[in-house]
Chains A and B, each alone.
Chain A
């Protein structure tokens, strides 16, 4: 079945880079996503990558995709305190209504 796994917690110093990792199981996923959730709020789409790409960069965000290993990572450069949040990796499951399967979320804590 479909499954998405990610580490639960990451702590970084302000100004350093953060790398959040994710593994997924559905090799037919067309798109893979990174969402950000701040306390008590909904989800904000940060970025997504098409499955035939290896890398996508968007300002401070870099997404790397290793399709062979079904491994996805999100790198945040120059991490700021405002980046503290929960980051969810999600795979778009093909067929039907293209539902999203989410990982458990990685809580990023940025300290001075």
Chain B
């Protein structure tokens, strides 16, 4: 159990377009999901915390108008990279906490590799 699925696994888009990445909890409900960004050979940087039914909480330095997060249901959060530029190319990973469970474990998706050309 506790599977988190991201879609797509990889995407290539043209500069100036928008890309949506989905993060789904397949067999549990997740009131809170986290979005991370990982540059090559670097750590995961938390971008924002996504809460079902409310606005996301963004980390300092992350542009909320550029990285739109929607957490419309207990099993789905989406990250939209708007007006993408080559510097947005990165590996984006989401994680989800099981509703009602203490934070002993966060389950991670397999990641989405975004390449902006």
Contacts and interface: CB of A to CB of B under 8 A. Distances in A.
Interface of A: 30-31, 35, 40-45, 48, 88, 92, 96-105, 107
Given A42-B110, A43-B95, A97-B32, 13 more contacts: A42-B4, A42-B6, A43-B44, A43-B93, A45-B105, A48-B104, A88-B43, A97-B49, A97-B51, A98-B97, A99-B34, A100-B95, A105-B41
26 contacts: A31-B104, A35-B108, A41-B110, A42-B6, A42-B93, A42-B109, A42-B110, A43-B95, A45-B105, A88-B44, A92-B103, A96-B57, A97-B32, A97-B49, A97-B51, A98-B103, A99-B46, A99-B49, A100-B34, A100-B95, A101-B46, A102-B43, A102-B45, A103-B43, A104-B43, A105-B43
Determine chain B's interface SS by DSSP, over half rule: strand
Nearest to A107: B41
A88 B95 CA distance: 15
Interface of B: 4, 6, 32, 34, 36, 41-46, 49, 51, 57, 93, 95, 97, 103-111, 113
Contacts of A96: 49, 57
Contacts of B4: 42
B101 to A, nearest CB: 11
Contacts of B42: 104-105
A110 to B, nearest CB: 18
Contact of A40 (B49, B108, B109, B113): B113
Report which residue of B32, B44, B105 has the largest number of chain A beta carbons within 10 angstroms of its beta carbon: B44
